[in-house]
Amino acid sequence: MRLLVCEDDFLILMNTAEMLRDLGYEVTEAADGAAALAALAADPFDALMTDVGLPDMSGIELAHRVRATLPGLPIIFASGLGEVDGFDGDATVAFVQKPYTTPALEAALRAVIPT
């Protein structure tokens, strides 16, 4: 499984990628929304994990842009500020509260990626 992780905080990005790799996922890292969109345009991914607060666009805006071209791509939002509005009832969207643990990431992935 290939995951794209979009996070502007380098240490969180590095730690998250390491946790996901330990779970057996192939991970590509992006530091902002533009880099994530470029990566998604260049390669196929099984899911996107994005921080809500990015420097160039919000993770919510990124998700809406992604959904315009990849409507079924599972998305996991990460934030320390609480839940994300606008995706209620969407079975391909999950949320993890920062700071998150490896089990929390694994649970979010299981919730949105069909096995």
Total domains present in the chain: 1
3-state helix, strand, coil in the chain (%, to 5): 40, 20, 40
The pLDDT value given to residue 86 = 65
The pLDDT value given to residue 90 = 82
Task: Please report which helix (H) or strand (E) contains residue 25, including its range.
Answer: none
The pLDDT value given to residue 81 = 75
Separation of alpha carbons 10 and 93, rounded Å = 24
Domain CATH for 9: 3.40.50.2300
pLDDT in tens, 61-96: 999 999 999 999 999 999 887 666 667 778 899 999
Structure tokens at 21: 């790799």
Alpha-carbon distances, residue 99 vs 20, 42, 64 (angstroms) = 15, 30, 24
Span 29-51, mean pLDDT?
97
Structure tokens at 85: 């509005």
Q: Structure pTM?
A: 0.94
Domain of 97, in residue numbers: 2-112
Lowest mean pLDDT among 7-16, 25-34, 76-85: 76-85
Instruction: Indicate if the pLDDT at residue 27 is higher than 70.
Output: yes
